[in-house]
Amino acid sequence: MLLKYIRAAFCAAALLVSAGISDSDAQTGSSARPRLGTVVIDAGHGGKDAGCVSKDGRTYEKNLTLSIAKLLGQKIKAEYPEVKVYYTRLTDRYLTLNERADIANRNNADLFISVHINSNQSSSPGGFSSHIFGRSSGKDSDLFKGNMDLCRRENSVILLEDDYTTKYQGFDPNDPESFIFFSLMQNAYYEQSLLFAGEVVQALEGGPITRNRGISQDSFYVLWKTAMPAVLLELGFISNSADLKVLTSEKGRSQIADRLFNAFRKFKTKYDNSIDYSTAGLVQGSATAQNKATIAGMSAMDIRYGIQIMAGSREIPASDKSFKGYTPVIVHDGELYKYIICVSASEQDVRSELKSVSKKFPGAFVVKIDDGKVSRR
C-alpha cells in the first residue's frame, strides 16, 4: 500500500515537472516560471552513526559533512536571502534515512543535497563524485553494479534502527535482492538531478580534491524517498591521506563549499528559466548504417522512440568517438544535451536493439519522443 501511495505521489510530481510549474503555480493557475526557492542540505550520518572513520581513528565523516553542509548553507543564504535553506541536522545527532527524506518532502524542497565522504580499505583511491538515483536498464543486471560497497555503506544506517525490517518494508542493505524493489519506482526528477550532479563535478574540477570520479546512478534509499531533484555527493576519501589533509583543514572545507555554491548558483540560474522541449531543440546528426532511423522531417505530433545513451551539460559533437560508431540524435533542452540513437516509430524495434546497445552503453534506456518532449519508458 505504501509503495502504491509513493508511486502515485511521484507520478503527480512528474506531471508538474513536465509542465514546468511548481505546486503553488498549480494551485493558483499562475503561468510564472518556476523558481528554486527552497533547498535542503543533508549532512550525512551523525550521532551514533559516525559514518566513515580515518585510519588513525581521529576523524569521523559525520563531523566533516556537518561542517561542509553549514558552510554551503551560509553561502547560499548570503547570496540568495530569498531562498529558504533547511538542514537535516545542525548538531551531532542521529537521523534515520526516512527522517532525512521527510524533512525535504515536508518543506517542499526544490533541491536536496546530501553531503558525504567516501572511504576504501586501500589508501590509494581518492577524489570526489556525484550520485543520482538510478538503476541499470538490463532485466538481470546488478542494480548497483560497480558501487555495491558504497551503496551498502550509505544505506547501512538502516541497521541501526529498531525494527528496521518493518519500517523499510523488509529492505536489508546487506542483501542484494532487497534492491529489487527499487525497480518499482522511477525518479521523476532524473534530468534535473543529473544536471545538478554535472554542475557539481565541473565546479569541483581543479579544486583541493584533485581526482574527478564523475557521476553515477545508484540505489541510495535517501535519494529514492525524496520527491525533488536530489544528489548525494562524495567529496573525498577519508582513507586517502591527501584528501584527508584537505578535509580536516578549515581552508580545504571552505574551498569545497565555495565550489559547491558555484554549482548551486549555475543550477539555480538554469532552474529558474523554463526548459524548452520543442522540436526546435532537436539536432540530427548525419545518418550511419548503425543508426538508419531518423526524425528528420517528422511533424511535431509524430511519436518516435529511441535509446538514450548519455546526457550532460556540455555538447559533444555527434561524430565524437565516445559514441562508438553511432551517430546520435541530440536533444537540447536549453542546457542539458541528451544523446539518442536507434530512433524509430516502432518501440518494439527500438527495444530489440537495447540489448546490443547496452553492451557498449550499460546505462542506456528507451525513451519516447512525443510532440517534441522526451520521456523515459
Give the torsion sign (CA, 299, 300, 304, 307).
positive
Residues 9 and 64 in one domain: yes
> Within this chain, do residues 154 and 7 fall inside the same structural domain, yes or no?
yes
User: Could you tell me if 24 and 153 lie in one domain?
Assistant: yes
pTM of the complete model beyond 0.75: no
Query: CATH code at 54?
Result: 3.40.630.40
Q: Are 304 and 209 in a shared domain?
A: no
Does 266 share its domain with 283?
no
Q: What pLDDT, on a 0 to 100 scale, did the predictor assign at position 314? A: 65
Of 249, 271, 293, the last residue of a domain is: 271
Task: Please enumerate in sequence order all residues whose Cβ is within 8 A of that of 117, keeping only pairs 6 or more positions apart, or say none.
Answer: 44, 51, 52, 61, 64, 65, 234, 235, 236, 237, 238, 247
Mean pLDDT for the chain overall: 74
Q: Which of 325-329, 334-338, 352-356 has the lowest mean pLDDT?
A: 334-338
Domain count, the chain: 2
Residues 252-267: b if buried by 16+ CB within 10 A, e if exposed: bbebbbebbbbbbebb
Task: Say if residue 182 is in the same domain as residue 61.
Answer: yes
CA 330 to chain centre: 21
- Cα separation, 98 vs 74, in Å, equals 25
Q: Are residues 208 and 285 in the same domain?
A: no
pLDDT at position 85 is 98
Classified as helix, coil or strand, 185 is coil
Residue in the structure block whose three cell numbers are 576519501: 237
Which residue(s) pair with 38 in the sheet? 84
DSSP state at residue 233: E
Residues 113 and 241 in one domain: yes
Does residue 235 share a domain with residue 284?
Answer: no
Q: Using the CB atoms, write b or e for 194-208: b if 16+ within 10 Å.
A: bbbbbbbbbbbeebb
Please report, for the domain that includes residue 319, its CATH number: 3.30.70.1070
Looking at residue 224, what is its pLDDT? 72
**CA 205/CA 50 separation, integer angstroms:** 28
Residue 179 grid cell: 534492491
Mean per-residue pLDDT for 124-133?
A: 91
Same domain, 26 and 150: yes
More confident residue, 167 or 354: 354
Same domain assignment for residues 266 and 288: no
Same domain, 257 and 293: no
Q: What is the predicted pLDDT for the residue at 133?
A: 77
Of 271, 292, 324, the residue that ends a domain is 271
Which strand (E) or helix (H) includes residue 103?
helix 97-106
CB 269 within 8 A of CB 238: no
Give the whole-angstrom CA distance, residue 108 versus residue 105: 5
Domain residues for the domain of 298 are: 279-376
DSSP one-letter code for 327: -
Position 141 scores a pLDDT of 40
Q: What confidence tens digit (pLDDT) does each residue in 257-274 have?
A: 999 999 999 999 988 874
Domain boundary among 248, 271, 294: 271
Asked if the model's pLDDT at residue 38 lies above 50, the reply is: yes
